[in-house]
Structure 1
Amino acid sequence: MPELPEMENYRRLLSKQILHKTITKVTINRQKSINVSEDVFSQKVIGQSVMEIQRRGKHLLFQLQNGYNLLLHLMLGGIMYVGSVEDQPKRTKQIIFDFNERELFFIGLRLGYLHLLTHEEVEAEFQDLGPEPFDPTFTLEKFSELIEKKKGRLKTTLLDQHFIAGIGNCYTDEICYHAEFLPTKKCNELTSQDIQKLFSSIKLVLNRALELGGYMEMPLYQQDQLTGGYNENCLVYDREGETCTRCGQRIIKEIISSKKCFYCEGCQH
């Protein structure tokens, strides 16, 4: 599932591709991917320009000229592609936006969605989300206040979108590895020094992943050389049986609360 770095990478690249472009046609191949009728969706979207693209956690928010918003959550398996009929991926597209000279394909939205919402409805959707790791207000002091209230394991706590928005399965493992903590370590066992170390790891891992374009395998457009660069740079995630680059021991895979979890028991404690 795309996480904060992947969605922020999409936001930045899409802003260069479709911002202030007019949507001239909408094709909906899966009714369940939207929240209103096809007629209403098309009526509110066709002829509108995308004025701004924002990200909140794992969501993207397309702000339209008429004041409506399109809230996107790709969920598991969802991707996007900007291109044409000639270079489009040979995969099922649930929704297609035509911008005349290019098209935006929403692919793999079997669990994901693209909902048409008012500003008030968007605020209601986001009200329970935790703080943004990249927000200047997300300080060590704020993080300490939040995590000192938690008693669960690091893995499940970092996955909780009410705790911090945007961190998913891949980056919980990468963050725990960077901080040298086992993902099963309990939050109430963390010292103040541990909390500071974990906070730094959250910032560093997410920023590094964003700089490398996240782990999405397919480029966003034909000349995209950035997207997916982190996929070959994961240090533990999806590296079961490989050698830890830090201590030389084997990376282990375990299921924690029904989630895949990768770690090195040699240098994580």
Structure 2
Amino acid sequence: MPELPEMETYKKLLNEKISGNVISHVIVNREKTININVEPFQQQLLNKKVLQVKRRAKHLIFELDSGMNLLLHLMLGGWIYFGNEQDEPDRTKQVILSFPEGNLYFIGLRLGYLHLLNPQQLQGKLSEIGQEPLDPNFTYDSFLQLIASRRGMLKTTLINQSFLAGIGNCYSDEICFQAKLKPTNKFNDLNELQTKNLYHSIITILQSGIQQGGYMDSPFTNNDPLTGGYRTLVYDKEGQPCPRCNTPIILEHVSSKKTFYCRICQL
């Protein structure tokens, strides 16, 4: 599932391609992907300009010059591609938005969605999401306040979107590895050094993921040089040697979530 770095990568590439451009055609192949009937959805998008694309947690927000917003959540298996009829992926497209320079294909939205919302609806939809971990206001002191009453495991807490925005299965494992902490450790058992390491690891790993284009290797365009450059350290590496100590990475299910870590150097 795309997480903060993947969605931040999409945001950057989308703003380069479609910001300031007008939607010239709208195709909806799966009505369950959208939140209103197909005809009014198309009418409210047609000939509207995309002012900019923003990110909030794992969501993308397409701001339109009409004052409305498209809220995208890719969920599991979703991705987007910008191209044309000559290079479009041979996959089912749930929604297609056409622009002067190409088409934006929304693919694999079996669980994901693309909803048209007014500002009040958008605010309500995102109201329970926690702080952005790369926001300048996310300081170590604010992190201490955030975890002051936390008793849960690192894994389950880090992926809780009301705790922090945008972290999921992959980057929670990467963060714990960077901090040399087992994902099954509990927040209230961390000492001061471990807490500082965890805080800095959150920022370091997410920034690294963004700089390297995230871990998902589905390209955004046919000549996309950025997407998928991040190479995970432990996530999805079961049985492979730990980058620090060469001990085989193990897989454990934590609250039904696949969790990868080193049993030797993560304490």
TM-score if structure 2 supplies the norm length? 0.99
- In structure 1, the residue matched to 2:128 is 128
Report the Cα offset of residue 136 of structure 1: 0.7
Give the corresponding residue for 1:58: 58
Query: Aligned residue for 2:176?
Result: 176
SS at match of 2:232: coil
The Cα of 1:223 is off from its aligned counterpart by: 1.4
CA-CA distance at 1:101 after TM superposition: 2.9
Question: Which 5+ residue runs of structure 2 have no aligned equivalent?
Answer: none
Q: Distance in 2 between matches of 1:192 and 1:124?
A: 36
Tell me the distance in 1 between the aligned counterparts of 2:25 and 2:160: 37
Q: C-alpha deviations, 1:129-188, integer Å up to 9, x for none?
A: 000011111111111111121101000000100000000000000000000000000110
2:242 maps to 244
- 2:148 is matched with which residue? 148
Instruction: Supply the distance in 2 between the matched residues of 1:211 and 1:262 (Cα, whole angstroms).
Output: 23
What TM-score do the two structures reach when normalised by structure 1? 0.98
Separation in 2 of the partners of 1:189 and 1:5?
29
Distance between the aligned counterparts of 1:62 and 1:227, measured in 2? Answer: 20
Distance 1:120 1:193 in 2: 42
Quote the RMSD (CA, aligned, Å): 0.6
CA distance in 2 between partners of 1:248 and 1:98 (Å): 49
Match of 1:8, as an amino acid?
E
| 1:52 positional shift | 1.0
Once residues 146 and 176 of structure 1 are traced to their aligned partners in structure 2, the CA distance between those partners, rounded to angstroms, is 17
Report what 1:261 is aligned to.
259
Query: 1:264 is aligned with what amino acid?
Result: C
The DSSP-based 3-state class of the residue aligned with 2:182 is coil
Give the 3-state SS of the residue equivalent to 2:82 in structure 1: strand
For residue 150 of structure 1, what is the amino acid of its counterpart? R
CA distance in 2, matches of 1:6, 1:127: 22
> How far 1:217 moved relative to its partner?
1.3
Identity of aligned residues (%): 51
Dislocated runs of 4+, deviation >6 Å:
none
The aligned residue for residue 161 of structure 1 is 161
The answer to whether residue 113 in structure 2 is matched with residue 113 in structure 1 is yes
Distance in 2, Cα, partners of 1:245 & 1:151: 29
Amino acid across the alignment from 1:220:
F
Instruction: Determine the C-alpha separation between the residues in 1 that align with 2:97 and 2:244.
Output: 46
Match of 2:225 in 1: 225
Once the two structures are superposed, residues 222-252 of structure 1 have per-residue CA deviations (whole angstroms, 9 ceiling, x without a partner) of: 111110011xx11100000000110111100
Question: 1:191, CA displacement in angstroms?
Answer: 1.6
Residue 81 of structure 1 is matched in structure 2 by 81
Tell me how far apart the structure 1 counterparts of residues 192 and 40 of structure 2 sit (CA, whole Å). Answer: 53
Opposite residue 237 of structure 1, the aligned amino acid is Y
Map residues 62-73 of structure 1 onto 2, 5 A cutoff.
62-73=62-73
Q: Distance in 1 between matches of 2:127 and 2:18?
A: 28
* Cα distance in 1 for residues equivalent to 2:149 and 2:198: 15
Amino acid at match of 2:5: P
Q: Matched residue of 1:141: which SS?
A: helix
The one-letter code matched in structure 1 to 2:64 is L
CA distance in 2, matches of 1:195, 1:244: 22
The Cα of 1:102 is off from its aligned counterpart by: 0.3
Q: What are the Cα deviations for residues 13-62 of structure 1, in whole angstroms up to 9, with x where unaligned?
A: 11000111110100000000000011110111010010011100000000
Distance in 1 between residues matched to 2:96 and 2:184, nearest whole Å: 42
Which residue is 1:207 aligned to? 207
| Unaligned ranges ≥5, structure 1 | none
Q: Output the CA distance in 2 between the equivalents of 1:149 and 1:104.
A: 44
Distance 1:245 1:69 in 2: 43
